[in-house]
A and B are shown apart, each in its own frame.
Chain A
Amino acid sequence: MKKTNIPLILGGIILLLILFIMIFPDMFTDNSPYTIQIVRFIHEDSKLFVERSPFNPGSDFVLGSDDLGRDILSYIIYGTRLTITLGLLIAIGQFLIAIPLALLGGFGNRLAKSVIQQFNIIFSAIPALLISIILLKLDFIADLDKQSSIIAFVLILTAVSWPKLGSLIMERVEAIIAQPFIKGEVAIGKRRTKIALENVVPHLAPELIILFFMEIARNLSMIMQLGIFAVFVGNLGIVDDKGSGFYINTDISFEPEWASMLSTSRTLISTAPWAVIFPALAFFISVLGFNLFGEGLRNIIQKPDSRMPLVFRKLISLDFSYLWRMIGKKEKIKYSVGTVTLIGLFLIFSIVNKEEYTISLAADSIDLPNRVIIGTEEADETIQQITDKMVQLGIEPLEEEGYALSYDIGPSYMLKDQDFSISLEDGPMDLIPNQDFAFVTSGDINNTGMIHDATEIDMFSIDDYSKFKDKFILIDKDYYNDQSIDYFIKEINKNERVKGVLLIARKSERINSIIIDESEMMSVIMVSREVSDLLKTNMDSTISISSSVMPLESTGYNLVGIQKGTDENIGDEAIVIGMNYNYTEDGGNDVLEFNLELMEQLCQQQGNKRSIIFMFLDGTIDEKRHGVHYITQDFPYSPNKVEGYIDLSGLVERNFDYIQFSAAQAPITRPFAWSLGHHIEQEFTKNNLEIREIQTRHIGNEYYFTDSQADNAMFWEKGIPTIIINTLESGEETRSIEEVGSILLEVINKNNY
C-alpha cells in the first residue's frame, strides 16, 4: 500500500494557509494592525476602570495587545507578508549567488571554489548572527526608510548565509560530476556548459528545491533570532518629540512584522507573555511548515526511481510537450483538478474580498439644486435635505438648537456679473473670470484706469498714497502675509480715491470667487501671475473692470450630527468627518450625493465602537467664510475626545486625477489618527491612486499647511489631529471619488474598534 506522505500534506496545508494570509490578510482579521490604543476604559459594576496596555487576550483583542495597545492577531496576520517575503527574498538571494559559483567550483574553477571555501571559513569562525547584528545596527542602516531597510536587510543576510549553502551545493555538484556517466558525456564530445545544464543541473534540481524550502525555514529562524536582539526591518525613524528634532530609532516598528513584535515585547515576557509567545508561535509554525514541506518533497522526489531530474531537464530546455506526454491520463486529470480548485479558491477569495467595502452613487438620486451657495435659498433647501437624511439615519444633533449651527458671516455679496479687460495695442483683451482674475471685494462698480506697479516697492514704507490716485495698484501677495495686505487695503481705502487693488496670487493659490465683501468705491481683484506679467509689459495700457453683485443672507449653517459609538468604554471617543455641501457647478451635486452616501454607509456599518461625528460645513467655497473657522470657535464636542478629523471638504468633483493627501497634522504622538492616516495612505497606494503632498511648512516639529487657513483650523485651533484629502484634476479625470469612498469605509471600519 502507498504510504501517505504526512510531512508533505501538513507542510502543504501550512504553506497554503500562509499564502492565503499573505494575499488576503483582511479575510482573517477585521482589525487594523496600525491602530494604537494605549489606554482603555472599562465600565464594570458601575465603576470605571482605566487600563493601560498591554491588554490581556479577550473579546477586544483575541490574542491580546502589545505595549502600544496594538492587536497582536492582526499584527501577526499583516506581518506575514513582510516576514515571509523576507525569508523568501533572502533564500532567492542565497541561491542566486550559490548556484553559479557552486557549479563553477564543481567544474574545477579554482577562483569560485576558493571564494566559497574562504567565505565559509570566515562565517563559520564568526557566527553569521553576530555579523548581521553588528552590520544592521550601524546607524547608517538603521536610519534607512522601510524600502531601503528591507533591501539592506536582505543583502546582508544573504551575504552572511550563502557560503554554507554554496559549499553544500558544490559538494553535490562534485559528487554528480564524479559519476561515470559524466565521463561518457565528455567522451561523446558534449560541451561542458551543456553537460552542466543538461546532466548536472537536472540531477541537482530536486535537491535544490528541497534545500530552498529548508533555507527559507532557516532564514526565518535567523530573522527571529535577530528580532530577539532588537534587529528587524521596517525600523521607523521617528522625530524625537522632545523638541530636538532629531530622528530617533526606537525598538518599536510601526510596520507589521514578526521579528519586530518579538523585539518590542521581549521585555514583557513576564508581564504580558502573550505579546511574545504568539509571534514566536507564528515563527515556529511557519518554520515548521517550510521544513515539513521540504521533507515531504524529499520523500517524493528523491526516490531512486523518481523522474524529477528528467522533468527539470525538460523544463530547462523548455520542452513541455514531452512532459505532457509523460504524465499519465489519470494524473493529468488529478493535476488539472488540483490547479483549477486552487485558482477557483483564489478567485472566490478575491471576489468575496472585494464585495465588502464599495460605495457607488445610485442612478436615481435625490433631487439636488444645481448650485448651493452659502446664504442662498438653495442652501436652505439643501440643509433641509441633509437634516432629513440625518434624522432618517438616527444621527443625533450635538447641540440643543439642532443639527444646523448658525454663524454670522457678515455682509456678503454674490457676484452676478464680472468683467476685466485690458486695452492692448491690438485691441482690448477680455480676461476669463475665475481663471485669470477673481474679485475679492467689489460692488456694483464700473471703473477704468491705468496701473501702478507696486511690486517693486515696499508697501510698508509708503506714507503718501497720493501717487496711486485714480490708478489700479498691483501688489504681489508673495511678499506679504494676509494681515499686511488687509492693512494696505484699509489704508489705501482711507486715504485716496484709488480705482482698485490688483493682488497677484500666490503660486498655488486658487483664483476663484463667488462670494465677496462689499465696497462701493474700490475693487480688490486677485489676478494670476500670467496676467500680472502681461500687465507689467504693457504698463501704459488702461484696464477696465465692472461688476454687479447680489446681497446674501449673512448667516451660514454648519450641520453637525453624531452617531454614538456602541462600545461603552470607547464610545465617547469620536472620529470627525468634515464634508462640504456648497458647490457652484453642475457636477457638485454628485459630491454632495457622495457625501450623503458615505455618511449612510458609515452609519450602517457594523461595529462602530467609537462615535462618528459628521460635519457638513458651509461656505467651503470661500476661504473667509469657511464653516470650519466658526465650528472651531465654538466646537460642539469635547476636543479631547476627538481622536481624529478627516477633512473631505476638498472633494470637489466626482472625477479627478490625483489626490492631495497629508497626514502631517496627525503625528505619531497622536497614535490613533497617525495609524488612521498611515492606513489610508497605504490603501491609496495599493489602489494606484496618485498621491501628491500638500505643501507644508514646519513650526517646531509640527506642520502648517501653507495653502489654506481652513486646512489648519482643526489642528491649530483645537489640537485635533487632521488628515486632509483633496482631489485635484489635471484634465483627464481618470479616477472617481467612489474609489476614495470605498477606501475610507474600509479604513474607518477597520480602525474603529
Chain B
Amino acid sequence: MNSILKVDNLSKHYISKKSIFSKKQVVDAAKNITFEVGENQTLGLIGESGSGKSTIANLVLRLIEPSNGRIEIFGKDITNLKEDEMRKHRKDIQIIFQYTNSVLDPQMTVDELLKEPLKIHNIVKESELDEEVERLLQMVNLSSSERWKFPGQLSGGQNQRIIIGRAIATRAKLIVCDEPVSALDASVQGQVLNLLIKLKEELNLSYLFISHDLKVIRHMCDRIAVMKNGEIVEMGDADAILNNPQHEYTKKLIESILDINTN
C-alpha cells in the first residue's frame, strides 16, 4: 500500500500562563501522534470535542506549526518547509471545513471561488477555465445557475459542495475533512457524505476524516483512530474497533451511541 500521508510522533503544545505569578502550564493539544493514510483509504479520527482532532487537521496542512515530530506527504518531509515551498505542496493536500458559511470569502462569486485554485496552481489553461468550472460544478452536483451567486445566497450544503469543489479542483490526492457534515441538516448530511464517497471512487482520493460522530465514521472509514486528550488511544481497522473496542474510552464512546439508539 502506497502511503499518502505519514505522521510520525507529531506533537503540538501551547504554553499558557494565567498570570505573571503563576507557573507556566504546558497544554498538549496533540501528543506523539503517529498514523498513516494509504492510497484510496479513509482514516477516521474520532474523539470528543477538545480531544485535539482539529489540531491534527491544522498540523497536517501546516496551518499551525508543530512543536515536534514529522509530517510526510508522498514520502516528502514537509515538516520544516518554508511557507513559499509549502505552497507548492498545498495542491496535493486539501481541507474541508466544518463551518460552511464562513470559510468562503463572502464577497466572491462561486465562479471566482472555483477559479481561484485553478489559477493559483495553473491547473488548466486560461481559455479552459470556464469549461473546468462547469465540470467541477457538475462533479459536486451543483447546477450552473449557482455559478454567479455569492456564498451568502446559498445553503450550507451547497456551500459545502463548493468547498469540496475547491478541494478537488487542485487534483489533490488527500483531503482532510474536518467535521464536514456536523453543521449540516441530517438530510443534507447524507448527500454530502455520499458525494464524498463517490468522489473517492471516481478520483481515487484518500481522506483523513475527522468527526465526533461514530455513525458518520462508521459510514465512511476504512480505519479508525480514537483520540482523547490529544493522544491516540486506539487505532485499527474500522470493523475491529467498532466491534471489539479495547480501550475503556472507546467502549464508552460506542456505548453512548448504543444508548441513544436503544432509547
Chain A residues with a Cβ under 8 A of chain B: 179-181, 183-192, 199, 202-203, 305, 307, 309-310, 313
Contact = CB atoms under 8 A, between A and B. Distances in A.
A181 B170 contact: no
Contact of A189 (B87, B97, B104, B108): B87
A114 B234 CA distance: 46
A181 B120 contact: no
Interface of B: 61, 63, 83, 87-88, 90-91, 94-95, 97, 99, 102-108, 116-117, 120-121, 152, 163, 166, 170
Contact of B97 (A180, A192, A203, A307): A180
A181 B103 contact: yes
Nearest to A304: B152
Contact of B103 (A183, A307, A310, A313): A183
B116 A190 contact: yes
Contacts of A181: 102-106
Contacts of A313: 107-108
A183 B63 contact: yes
B107 A307 contact: yes
A185 B90 CA distance: 11
Contacts of A310: 107-108
A188 B117 contact: yes
Given A183-B63, A184-B97, A305-B152, A190 B120 contact: yes
A188 B168 CA distance: 11
Given A181-B102, A305-B152, A188 B107 contact: no
Contacts of A179: 102
B117 A184 contact: no
A189 B152 contact: no
A189 B63 contact: no
Majority DSSP secondary structure for residues of B touching A: loop
Contacts of A183: 63, 97, 103
A358 to B, nearest CB: 53
Given A180-B97, A180-B99, A184-B97, A189 B105 contact: no
Nearest to B95: A187
**Taking each of B87, B121, B170, which has the highest tally of chain A beta carbons within 10 Å of its own beta carbon?**
B87
Given A190-B120, A305-B152, A185 B105 contact: yes
A189 B102 contact: no
Contacts of A309: 107
Contacts of A188: 90, 94, 116-117, 120, 166, 170
B121 A189 contact: yes
A307 B151 CA distance: 12
A189 B103 contact: no
A202 B105 CA distance: 11
A185 B166 CA distance: 10
21 contacts: A179-B102, A180-B99, A180-B102, A183-B63, A183-B97, A184-B97, A184-B105, A185-B116, A186-B63, A187-B90, A188-B120, A188-B170, A189-B88, A189-B91, A189-B170, A190-B120, A191-B87, A202-B107, A203-B107, A310-B108, A313-B108
Contacts of A305: 152
Nearest to A194: B120
A626 to B, nearest CB: 77
B104 A184 contact: yes
Given A189-B117, A190-B116, A191-B87, A184 B103 contact: yes
Contact of B94 (A187, A190, A191, A203): A187
A434 B156 CA distance: 95
A283 B104 CA distance: 45
Contact of B61 (A185, A187, A203, A307): A187
B120 A189 contact: yes
Contacts of A191: 87
Contacts of B87: 189-191
Closest 4 CB pairs of A and B: A189-B90, A309-B107, A184-B103, A180-B102
Nearest to A191: B87
B132 to A, nearest CB: 15
**Taking each of A179, A183, A305, A313, which has the highest tally of chain B beta carbons within 10 Å of its own beta carbon?**
A183
Given A190-B87, A192-B83, 19 more contacts: A180-B97, A181-B102, A181-B103, A181-B106, A184-B166, A185-B105, A187-B61, A187-B63, A188-B116, A188-B117, A188-B166, A189-B87, A189-B117, A189-B120, A189-B170, A199-B105, A203-B107, A309-B107, A310-B108
Contacts of A189: 87-88, 90-91, 117, 120-121, 170
Contacts of B120: 188-190
A380 B229 CA distance: 117
A735 to B, nearest CB: 54
Contacts of B108: 310, 313
A385 B220 CA distance: 111
A315 to B, nearest CB: 13
Nearest to A313: B107
Contacts of A307: 107
Nearest to B166: A188
A192 B116 CA distance: 14
A639 to B, nearest CB: 75
B100 to A, nearest CB: 10
A183 B105 CA distance: 10
A718 B140 CA distance: 97
B104 to A, nearest CB: 6
Nearest to A187: B95
Nearest to A312: B107
Nearest to B163: A184
B152 to A, nearest CB: 7
Nearest to A199: B105
A179 B88 CA distance: 24
A184 B116 CA distance: 11
B248 to A, nearest CB: 35
B153 to A, nearest CB: 9
A526 B108 CA distance: 83
Contacts of B83: 192
Contacts of B103: 180-181, 183-184
A199 B63 CA distance: 18
